[in-house]
């Protein structure tokens, strides 16, 4: 690392230690006079960070403060995030990141990540040369069109890749210098944003059709050329583009869509784990999905191989998964069935949501709508009529867009629901009993997938990796967690979980001839992956 000095050193977030510089270092690097007398180690610094953080009166203020810390002292930011992940994750990720994205052009302090617009067409590769790091392994890119359940937030959506990258570092130990958040700013159809004088994005309607696709093509090629070892994670694209881009690039390059594939794996893991609570065999389950977008479709598409692996025929596997859209159960007579869910349609009479529950009697209900309240009291009460322990997974983020709250799920099911949600809920006490909702979020999956792909240098990111990740995550739910009704492990163990998933990803890559890992590395995978994980310290 280049030896910086004086103010330049203090202004470099990767190398700055601030008050932790020792007296010797202060003398050596020309820092005398630039720091107060006291020398405080990273533990004391963390206490100061937490005191500052907890003194803020709103979550958005906490977000701004934490971002400032990241810009001042990367190692202290990540050390504190890792050590206090349960407290801080909701501030750098969902739900607070949702509010931050809505307000991003207003709370903007300092540019983070990398921005590309249609004006960079023909020059993307040259633009990427401006990024100061050369060994990028993980790119998280969004075009801001479907930010959580909040819709088109244009360039304000940059908060998402930044948040996802923070969790790559904290949850999987990928070094900050190897991660790159990118906003592919192709405009926004959010007129309110375009008319906002403080809006910082490309203030034009979104690029569409061939103009859009050719720009993304150039982007992908430029990333692959500039950073040949990088995996590209597509995040929060509109449903239509998400599938189009996945189909376009996943067969020939190292990329995946987190909303489709990461979400599918985390949901499947929750379903596997729920079987341990309900004592039902996974192969017997019926799953009902509300929503027919990226997340719900991804879940359905991964359930098929999971059911087949559990011994079901293809037809049986499809029969176990039903979709509900705004008009009710998706049946064969439905107008305009989306091509990807055609195989899941049911030969049943048209039915609204509640009637469909009565007819099908699903064991598991999954919401991926981005619509608050989509799981109504009638819906939860109906599934609770047929299931002793209905499994209810309200995936939508942020909290303000959840299909139902934890309290509603427990109340309406008379305390019998097994509940998980995309954004975290605090424990709920009802009639003297405390329930522990789990967080069903792709943060349990994508960091481990990325780490495994990085270590193995797999050429492609394949479905088997997500299936293996789901199994691994489900196995990580402890007996105590199962006993208290949680279908996901405590988030404090996420680094260990990511490590385990990464090991499985390496094995899947090797088994599928997607890589040629050195024998030494492959034979000592657990230790090798652990060793490669970044630990922030001075």
Ligand X SMILES: NC(=O)C1=CN([C@@H]2O[C@H](COP(=O)(O)OP(=O)(O)OC[C@H]3O[C@@H](n4cnc5c(N)ncnc54)[C@H](OP(=O)(O)O)[C@@H]3O)[C@@H](O)[C@H]2O)C=CC1
Indicate which residues carry an active-site annotation. Answer: 93, 164
The answer to whether the annotation marks 475 as part of a ligand binding site is no
> Which residue, 113, 166, 100, 203, is CA-closest to 443?
166
The contacts of residue 386 (CB under 8 Å, 6+ apart) are: 357, 358, 361
Peptide bond into 398 cis (omega under 30): yes
Site for ligand CC(=O)C(=O)O contains 258 (CB under 6 A): yes
Task: Kindly report the number of other CB atoms within 10 A of residue 6's CB atom.
Answer: 13
Strand (E) or helix (H) holding 231: strand 231-234
Give the x/- contact pattern for ligand X in 137-176, rule: CB under 6 A.
Answer: ---------x-xx---------------------------
Smaller CB separation from ligand CC(=O)C(=O)O, 242 or 383: 242
Looking at residues 74 to 103 of the shown chain, list those that interact with ligand CC(=O)C(=O)O (rule: CB under 6 A): 94
- Residue 74 binds: one of ligand CC(=O)C(=O)O, ligand X, Mg ion, none (C-beta under 5 to 8 A by kind): none
Site for ligand CC(=O)C(=O)O contains 148 (CB under 6 A): yes
The answer to whether the annotation marks 52 as part of a ligand binding site is no
Task: Kindly report the number of other CB atoms within 10 A of residue 279's CB atom.
Answer: 8
> Which residue, 89, 225, 219, 222, is CA-closest to 234?
219
Smaller CB separation from ligand CC(=O)C(=O)O, 148 or 174: 148
Site for ligand CC(=O)C(=O)O contains 442 (CB under 6 A): yes
Helix H segments across 190-293?
191-194, 209-226, 239-249, 263-278
Strand 287-290 versus strand 418-421 pairing type: unpaired
The answer to whether the annotation marks 235 as part of a ligand binding site is yes
Site for ligand X contains 268 (CB under 6 A): no
- Residue 266 binds: one of ligand CC(=O)C(=O)O, Mg ion, ligand X, none (C-beta under 5 to 8 A by kind): ligand X
Site for Mg ion contains 143 (CB under 5 A): no
The answer to whether the annotation marks 12 as part of a ligand binding site is no
The answer to whether the annotation marks 433 as part of a ligand binding site is no
- Residue 330 binds: one of ligand X, Mg ion, ligand CC(=O)C(=O)O, none (C-beta under 5 to 8 A by kind): none
Residue with tokens 């405080």: 40
Interface stretch with Mg ion, choices 74-82, 133-141, 233-241, 242-250 (CB under 5 A) = 233-241
CA dist 153 and 101 (Å) reads 7
CA distances from 350 to 35, 333, 368, 494, 510 (A): 71, 8, 21, 42, 46
Helix H segments across 84-132?
85-92, 96-107, 124-128
Looking at residues 98 to 127 of the shown chain, list those that interact with ligand CC(=O)C(=O)O (rule: CB under 6 A): none
List % helix, strand, coil for the chain (3-state, nearest 5).
Answer: 50, 10, 40
The contacts of residue 155 (CB under 8 Å, 6+ apart) are: 104, 105, 115, 144, 183, 185, 188, 199, 200, 201, 202
Interface stretch with ligand X, choices 42-50, 54-62, 288-296, 521-529 (CB under 6 A) = 288-296
The contacts of residue 342 (CB under 8 Å, 6+ apart) are: none
How many alpha carbons fall within 13 Å on the CB side of residue 177? 13
Site for ligand CC(=O)C(=O)O contains 73 (CB under 6 A): no
- Of 259, 403, 472, 490, the residue at the interface with ligand CC(=O)C(=O)O (CB under 6 A) is 259
Interface stretch with Mg ion, choices 100-108, 231-239, 322-330, 379-387 (CB under 5 A) = 231-239
> Which residue, 140, 150, 166, is CA-closest to 95?
150
Least separation, in Å, of the C-beta of 147 and ligand CC(=O)C(=O)O? 8
The answer to whether the annotation marks 67 as part of a ligand binding site is no
Interface stretch with Mg ion, choices 207-215, 255-263, 333-341, 492-500 (CB under 5 A) = 255-263
- Residue 233 binds: one of ligand X, ligand CC(=O)C(=O)O, Mg ion, none (C-beta under 5 to 8 A by kind): none
CA dist 85 and 64 (Å) reads 17
Binding site for ligand X (CB under 6 A): 146, 148-149, 239, 259, 263, 266, 290-296, 325-326, 368-371, 374, 395-397, 401, 422, 440-442
Binding site for Mg ion (CB under 5 A): 235-236, 259
Task: Give the residue ranges of the annotated binding site for (S)-malate.
Answer: 146, 397, 441
């Amino acid at each position: 690392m280049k030896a910086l000095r004086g103010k330049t050193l203090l202004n470099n977030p990767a190398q700055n230690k601030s008050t932790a510089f020792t007296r010797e270092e202060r003398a050596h690097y020309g820092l005398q006079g630039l720091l107060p007398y006291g020398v405080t180690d990273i533990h004391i610094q963390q206490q100061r960070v937490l005191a500052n953080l907890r003194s803020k009166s709103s979550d958005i203020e906490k977000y701004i403060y934490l971002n400032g810390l990241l810009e001042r002292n990367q190692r202290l930011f990540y050390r504190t995030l890792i050590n206090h992940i349960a407290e801080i994750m909701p501030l750098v990720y969902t739900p607070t990141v949702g509010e931050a994205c809505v307000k991003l052009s207003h709370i903007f302090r300092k540019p983070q990540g990398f921005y590309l617009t249609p004006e960079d067409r023909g020059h993307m590769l040259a633009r990427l040369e401006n990024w100061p790091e050369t060994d990028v392994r993980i790119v998280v890119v969004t075009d801001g069109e479907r930010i959580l359940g909040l819709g088109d937030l244009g360039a304000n959506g940059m908060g998402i890749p930044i948040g996802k990258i923070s969790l790559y570092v904290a949850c999987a130990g990928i070094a900050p210098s190897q991660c790159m958040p990118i906003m592919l700013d192709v405009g926004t159809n959010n007129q309110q944003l375009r008319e906002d004088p403080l809006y910082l994005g490309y203030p034009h309607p979104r690029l569409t059709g061939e103009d859009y696709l050719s720009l993304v093509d150039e982007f992908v090629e430029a990333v692959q050329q500039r950073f040949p070892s990088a995996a590209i994670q597509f995040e929060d694209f509109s449903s239509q583009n998400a599938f189009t881009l996945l189909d376009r690039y996943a067969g020939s390059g190292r990329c995946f869509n987190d909303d489709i594939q990461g979400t599918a794996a985390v949901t499947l893991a929750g379903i596997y784990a729920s079987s341990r609570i309900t004592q039902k065999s996974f192969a017997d389950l019926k799953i009902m999905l509300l929503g027919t977008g990226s997340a719900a479709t991804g879940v359905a598409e991964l359930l098929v191989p999971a059911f087949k692996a559990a011994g079901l025929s293809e037809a049986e596997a499809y029969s176990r998964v039903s979709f509900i859209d705004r008009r009710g159960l998706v049946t064969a007579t439905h107008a305009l069935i989306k091509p990807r869910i055609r195989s899941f349609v049911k030969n049943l009479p048209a039915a609204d949501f509640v009637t469909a529950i009565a007819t099908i009697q699903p064991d598991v209900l999954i919401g991926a709508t981005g619509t608050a309240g989509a799981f109504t009291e009638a819906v939860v009460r109906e599934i609770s009529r047929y299931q002793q322990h209905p499994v209810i997974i309200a995936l939508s983020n942020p909290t303000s867009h959840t299909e139902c709250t934890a309290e509603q799920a427990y109340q309406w099911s008379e305390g019998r629901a097994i509940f998980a949600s995309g954004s975290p809920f605090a424990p709920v006490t009802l009639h003297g009993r405390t329930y522990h909702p789990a967080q069903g979020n792709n943060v349990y999956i994508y960091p481990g997938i990325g780490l495994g792909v990085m270590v193995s240098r797999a050429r492609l990111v394949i479905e088997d990796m997500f299936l293996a990740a789901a199994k691994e995550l489900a196995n990580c739910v402890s007996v105590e967690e199962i006993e208290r009704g949680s279908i996901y492990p405590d988030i404090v163990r996420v680094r260990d979980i990511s490590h385990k998933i990464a090991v499985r990803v390496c094995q899947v890559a090797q088994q599928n001839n997607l890589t040629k890992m050195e024998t030494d590395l492959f034979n000592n995978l657990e230790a090798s992956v652990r060793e490669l994980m970044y630990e922030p310290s001075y």
